[in-house]
């Protein structure tokens, strides 16, 4: 961990006891691990069916890694036991349900910070957005804990007021709704995502990625986001209105272009945002194109300065001309956890190679060299 990412402690964690409600779930287990890394005297786990009373009485910090409705119910069940000695945090995707009880707690001198990790908790957190939501004048202690917790995981911290979280929920609603609308249309046309992607141009390929990402999140969080959105009728009316505009434009190409231009002009504010996003999306497309020619995938659990240079040695020695180097933090496996692997040192690599500069003999030599370095050769299909 670099000096810049060292947690700055609000107070000595060695004297504090934390309880994570839902601590065996995807988010909760990561929070338990993170709090342990901060040096808490003890980190306890309380599941939904367990009694929260004893945990509140013996803990200084509570993190609710469950949905908003459950968090609200459990907090109210122990409301009279909470005091200024406590800090309260949560990681739910919906905040509107929690705002009333959180303001009540803040008014009684209890420090509250509501957090929201902007990705599936099981994925690596490095660089992922996390929103830390201030509730009121007493939020400082809880915000400091949340900052230390997520800073240690190299997330991109965004501090906002909890009232502004509705904008995050709005984005989620529109994304989940439109993606499931597209998924439903493809299902009704009996066109599976694999076939859609097979015949996709770059724009359609990017849409397929967004659709696959949405469907890959399952049903629990997306259904909560869609069902609990207080302005859903307003959003649905806007989507219906936009659909009607587009349907009318299909009969007149001139009007269709006018409508498209209106959309472009509206969204290109501040000036240049569309050009920027167009280029960013192109990077994704170019990455996939280069990897489709010939992809070589492997994994290291020993990331450190100079490691990439070592790993590229076998490709250089084999005379393989690289067209792409793509990497991302890897998700730790149960076997790696048992072996004590540091999850922050796992990196998955996808290497694109010019097909004219690779052959089976070279592949065998590269695999042998990487395996000797402790890497695991992967078998991923790049589509």
The residues, ordered by sequence, that sit 6+ positions from 348 with a Cβ below 8 Å of its Cβ are 297, 298, 299, 327, 328, 329, 330, 378
338-361: average pLDDT:
92
Which CATH number belongs to the domain containing residue 336 in this structure?
Answer: 3.30.70.260
Q: Which of 165, 194, 217 marks a domain boundary?
A: 165
Residues 54 and 127 in one domain: yes
Q: H-helix or E-strand containing 261? A: helix 253-267
Residues 30 and 135 in one domain: yes
Instruction: State pLDDT tens for residues 9-51.
Output: 445 799 999 999 999 999 999 999 999 999 999 999 999 989 8
Residues 56 and 40 in one domain: yes
Residues 124 and 176 in one domain: no
Q: Is 383 part of a structural domain of the chain? A: no
pLDDT computed for residue 11 by the predictor:
54
Instruction: State pLDDT tens for residues 133-192.
Output: 999 999 999 999 999 999 988 899 999 999 999 999 999 999 999 999 999 999 999 999
The number of folded domains in the chain is 3
CB 23 within 8 A of CB 2: no
DSSP state of 257: H
CA distance 62 to 90: 8
Residues 195 and 333 in one domain: no
CA torsion 132-135-137-138 (nearest 10°) is -80
73-102: average pLDDT:
95
**Cα-Cα end-to-end distance for the chain:** 35
Q: Which of 123, 144, 165 marks a domain boundary?
A: 165
Residues 115 and 238 in one domain: no
Residues 351 and 302 in one domain: yes
**Helix runs in 189-201, H state only:** 193-198
pLDDT computed for residue 359 by the predictor:
94
What is the pTM (predicted TM-score) of this model?
Answer: 0.81
Which CATH number belongs to the domain containing residue 149 in this structure?
Answer: 3.40.50.720
Residue 55 structural domain: 14-165
Residues 224 and 193 in one domain: yes
pLDDT computed for residue 285 by the predictor:
87
């Amino acid at each position: 961990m670099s000096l810049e990412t060292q947690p700055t402690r609000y107070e000595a964690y060695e004297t504090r006891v934390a309880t994570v409600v839902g601590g065996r779930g995807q988010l909760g287990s990561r929070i338990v691990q993170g709090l342990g890394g901060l040096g808490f005297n003890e980190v306890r786990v309380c599941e939904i069916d367990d009694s929260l009373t004893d945990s509140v009485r013996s803990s200084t910090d509570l993190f609710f890694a469950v949905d908003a409705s459950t968090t609200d119910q459990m907090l109210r069940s122990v409301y009279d036991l909470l005091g200024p000695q406590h800090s309260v945090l949560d990681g739910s995707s919906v905040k509107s349900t929690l705002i009333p009880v959180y303001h009540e707690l803040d008014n009684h001198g209890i420090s509250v910070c509501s957090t929201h990790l902007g990705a599936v908790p099981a994925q690596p957190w490095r660089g992922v957005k996390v929103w830390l939501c201030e509730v009121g004048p007493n939020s400082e202690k809880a915000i400091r804990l949340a900052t230390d917790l997520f800073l240690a995981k190299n997330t991109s911290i965004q501090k906002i007021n909890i009232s502004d979280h509705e904008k995050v929920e709005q984005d989620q609603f529109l994304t989940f709704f439109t993606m499931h609308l597209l998924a439903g249309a493809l299902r009704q046309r009996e066109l599976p995502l694999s076939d859609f992607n097979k015949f996709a141009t770059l724009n359609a390929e990017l849409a397929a990625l967004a659709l696959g990402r949405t469907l890959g999140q399952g049903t629990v969080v997306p259904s909560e986001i869609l069902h609990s959105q207080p302005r859903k009728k307003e959003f649905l009316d806007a989507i219906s209105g936009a659909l009607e505009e587009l349907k009318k434009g299909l009969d007149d190409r001139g009007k269709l272009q006018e409508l498209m231009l209106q959309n472009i002009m509206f969204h290109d504010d501040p000036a240049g945002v569309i050009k920027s996003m167009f280029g960013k999306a192109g990077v994704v497309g170019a990455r996939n194109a280069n990897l489709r020619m010939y992809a070589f995938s492997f994994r290291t659990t020993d990331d450190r300065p100079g490691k990439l240079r070592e790993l590229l040695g076998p490709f250089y020695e084999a005379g393989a001309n690289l067209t792409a180097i793509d990497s991302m933090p890897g998700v730790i496996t149960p076997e790696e956890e048992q072996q004590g692997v540091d999850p922050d040192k796992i990196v998955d690599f996808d290497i694109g190679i010019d097909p004219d500069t690779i052959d089976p003999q070279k592949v065998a030599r590269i695999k042998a060299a990487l395996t000797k370095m402790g890497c695991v050769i992967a078998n991923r299909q790049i589509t």
